[in-house]
């Protein structure tokens, strides 16, 4: 075991982690621990753009953006945070341009902007061009630009270091972050990183679904690490299903395709979104569009022999426009489906895409241990966190924005905390013990359960029971199945017993994280007896502001007998200028 000492440790090197690292490295001795090489993160898969009311091509302002974000989130958004998001969006985009990001340009040479779902002029009058973009590879450009600037700033990376545990030390009865414990993939060695501040920026948890746009590596490692240490997770029942994933594969096809004029059609060729969202049509918010697609499919208007998908039609758009604005997604259709998007519609279905919930933070990125108290030295930003700027449903282009605005904020706040804190808090006694025990148990396990089987069953139950449509019955089915799988996971064994690059072991650890988080999600969903944003209960189809205008806070509890359970609590929503209204598009 090796012990390292830094001022600030950042967990994860995607957009939020690297944005934080650029700030933190300037202000404190910083290490970035990342289970992937920095440019491998899933920020790179984001396509359509980053929202900011630059007003480069038409009238726009940050207040309209704030309103759209609050409405898009079905009023579960903390409005003070949304206001910061929309206001700081403008400087965030300009920061990236100054760092070198190659945005598409207008004829005047300014940053070009395009339409995106749920973004509107003057509180819902009509779609507005707010998304700043670089073809359909905006996430790729953000990731590359941030990595380039990390190279410039000399950010210190520990690549393929997998953080498995959060260390907490009580000082005068107050829980402080003391550092993290990481597993080095190349050698199997365990490292303790003692630090004044820790920032989680480790991304989402989409791999508990089968049809998902998420990378194989998005297994909720950060959420699981803090949750197991008794810290809460907020709003985990809210998961976004992106309307246009490639049929059966789940690969994302950007909403920018509809922003450029693409149309969703059912088997009769009907533009069905006109029925569900007369104003915004195909550019209604994602939860609305995904439910509409499944409604078409359930009512027998789906496409294909099994009627299990609909079409994204781009055939009426000029090939030059597709080449210039949507080169990557048209290539995906050619590569993976053998379809030519110039002439043929693309089969799509909703795909599990984004966790609105996560580790609760305030607007400085400080992690909360209950509804109001922060854990000194602990921060989170990006998809792993819940500020909450996305509420019950995130608007497209607001996640690339979130990682930049709150990545920067967390980076500055954590480094300033490190700078003003005289000394490190002491490490707990035997700090690596939990991780050593976990690794040894998995490596020496001789049970008859296999990781791949349990993961497959988990993904199947999540797709079947807690996806776009949910009921008491389906969620209970999922809860029971997850409990069974968690029991079986205790008897899991792996084939690779080695130390070097043991990805077999890593997948077993990741599955443990997914099981814990799936349970939190299902239990949180069961208790929320209403429909709001991405959480749709067929047995409670309406939003219930009287009982559920509040954030879910889920805590892991361990009884005296060692039995684990989940305790749910609730946190008020911050409302400033917008009163909840019925949500129409």
Work out how close the CB of 134 gets to other proteins at its nearest, in angstroms, rounded to a whole number. 8
CB nearer to other proteins: pick between 79 and 254: 254
Work out how close the CB of 62 gets to other proteins at its nearest, in angstroms, rounded to a whole number. 15
Distance CA 379, CA 414 (A): 7
CB nearer to other proteins: pick between 269 and 327: 327
Distance CA 66, CA 85 (A): 8
Work out how close the CB of 42 gets to other proteins at its nearest, in angstroms, rounded to a whole number. 6
Task: For 355-389, give the DSSP string.
Answer: ES-BEEB-TT-EEESSSS-EEEEEEE-STTEE-SS
Q: How long, in residues, is the chain? A: 585
Distance CA 434, CA 221 (A): 15
Work out how close the CB of 88 gets to other proteins at its nearest, in angstroms, rounded to a whole number. 15
Whose CA is closest to 40, among 157, 180, 198?
A: 157
Q: Are 199 and 225 a contacting pair, CB within 8 Å?
A: no
Work out how close the CB of 532 gets to other proteins at its nearest, in angstroms, rounded to a whole number. 30
Binding positions for other proteins, rule: CB under 8 A: 36-37, 39-42, 44-45, 93-94, 97-100, 102-111, 134, 137, 140-141, 144, 148-149, 151-152, 186, 215-217, 249, 251, 328, 332, 335-336, 338, 450-452, 494-496, 498-504
Distance CA 327, CA 136 (A): 7
CB nearer to other proteins: pick between 338 and 541: 338
Distance CA 479, CA 459 (A): 13
Strand ranges across the sheet with 550-558: 233-234, 550-558, 564-572
Distance CA 141, CA 124 (A): 30
Q: Are 496 and 505 a contacting pair, CB within 8 Å?
A: yes
- Positive/negative CA dihedral, 323, 329, 335, 338: negative
Which uninterrupted H or E stretch holds 376? strand 374-380
Q: Are 14 and 142 a contacting pair, CB within 8 Å?
A: no
* CB-side neighbour CA atoms (13 Å) of 101: 30
Looking up tokens 């758009």, which residue turns up? 317
Residues designated as active site: 286
Provide the 3-class DSSP secondary structure of residue 478: helix
Work out how close the CB of 422 gets to other proteins at its nearest, in angstroms, rounded to a whole number. 34
């Amino acid at each position: 075991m090796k012990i390292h000492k830094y001022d600030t440790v950042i967990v994860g090197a995607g957009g939020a982690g690297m944005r934080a690292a650029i700030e933190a490295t300037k202000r404190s001795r910083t290490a970035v621990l990342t289970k992937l090489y920095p440019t491998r993160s899933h920020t790179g898969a984001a396509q359509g753009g980053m929202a900011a009311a630059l007003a480069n091509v038409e009238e726009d302002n940050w207040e309209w953006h704030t309103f759209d974000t609050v409405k898009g989130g079905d009023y579960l958004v903390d409005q003070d945070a949304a206001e910061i998001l929309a206001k700081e969006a403008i400087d965030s985009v300009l920061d990236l341009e100054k760092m070198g990001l190659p945005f598409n340009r207008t004829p005047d040479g300014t940053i070009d902007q395009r339409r995106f779902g749920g973004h509107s002029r003057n509180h819902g009058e009509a779609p507005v061009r707010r998304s700043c973009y670089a073809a359909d590879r905006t996430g790729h450009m953000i990731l590359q630009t941030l990595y380039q600037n990390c190279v410039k700033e000399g950010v210190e990376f520990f690549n393929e270091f997998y953080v498995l545990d959060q260390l907490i030390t009580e000082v005068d009865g107050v829980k402080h972050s003391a550092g993290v414990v990481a597993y080095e993939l190349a050698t199997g060695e365990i490292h303790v990183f003692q630090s004044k501040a820790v920032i989680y920026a480790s991304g989402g948890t989409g791999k508990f679904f089968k049809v998902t746009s998420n990378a194989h590596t998005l297994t909720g490692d950060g959420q699981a690490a803090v949750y197991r240490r008794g810290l809460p997770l907020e709003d985990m029942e809210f998961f976004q299903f992106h309307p246009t994933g490639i049929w059966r594969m789940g690969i994302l096809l950007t909403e920018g395709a509809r922003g450029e004029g693409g149309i969703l059609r059912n088997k009769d060729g009907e533009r069905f979104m006109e029925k569900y969202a007369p104003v915004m049509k195909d550019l209604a918010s994602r939860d609305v569009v995904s439910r509409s697609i499944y409604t078409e499919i359930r009512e027998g208007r789906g496409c294909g022999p099994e009627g299990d998908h609909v079409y994204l039609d781009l055939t009426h758009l000029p090939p030059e426009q597709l080449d210039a604005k949507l080169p990557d997604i048209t290539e995906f259709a050619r590569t993976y489906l053998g379809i030519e998007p110039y002439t043929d519609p693309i089969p799509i279905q909703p795909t599990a895409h984004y966790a609105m919930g996560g580790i609760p933070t305030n607007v400085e990125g400080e992690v909360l241990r209950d509804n109001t108290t922060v854990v000194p030295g602990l921060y989170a930003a990006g998809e792993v966190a819940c500020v909450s700027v996305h509420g019950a449903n995130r608007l497209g282009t607001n996640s690339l924005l979130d990682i930049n605005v709150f990545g920067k904020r967390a980076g500055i706040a954590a480094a300033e905390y490190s700078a003003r804190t005289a000394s490190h808090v002491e490490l707990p006694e035997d700090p690596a013990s939990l991780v050593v025990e976990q690794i040894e148990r998995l490596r020496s396990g001789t049970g008859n359960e296999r990781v791949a089987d349990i993961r497959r069953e988990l993904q199947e139950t999540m797709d079947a029971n807690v996806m776009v449509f949910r009921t008491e019955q389906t969620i209970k089915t999922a809860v029971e199945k997850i409990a069974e799988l968690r029991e079986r996971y205790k008897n899991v064994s792996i084939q690779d017993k080695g130390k070097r690059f043991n990805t077999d072991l890593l997948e077993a650890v990741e599955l443990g994280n997914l099981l814990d988080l799936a349970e939190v999600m299902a239990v949180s969903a069961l208790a929320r007896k209403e429909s709001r944003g991405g959480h749709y209960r067929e047995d409670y189809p309406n939003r219930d502001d009287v009982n559920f205008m509040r954030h879910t806070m889920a805590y892991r509890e361990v009884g005296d007998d060692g039995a684990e359970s989940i305790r749910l609590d609730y946190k008020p929503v911050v409302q400033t200028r917008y009163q909840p209204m019925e949500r129409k598009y």
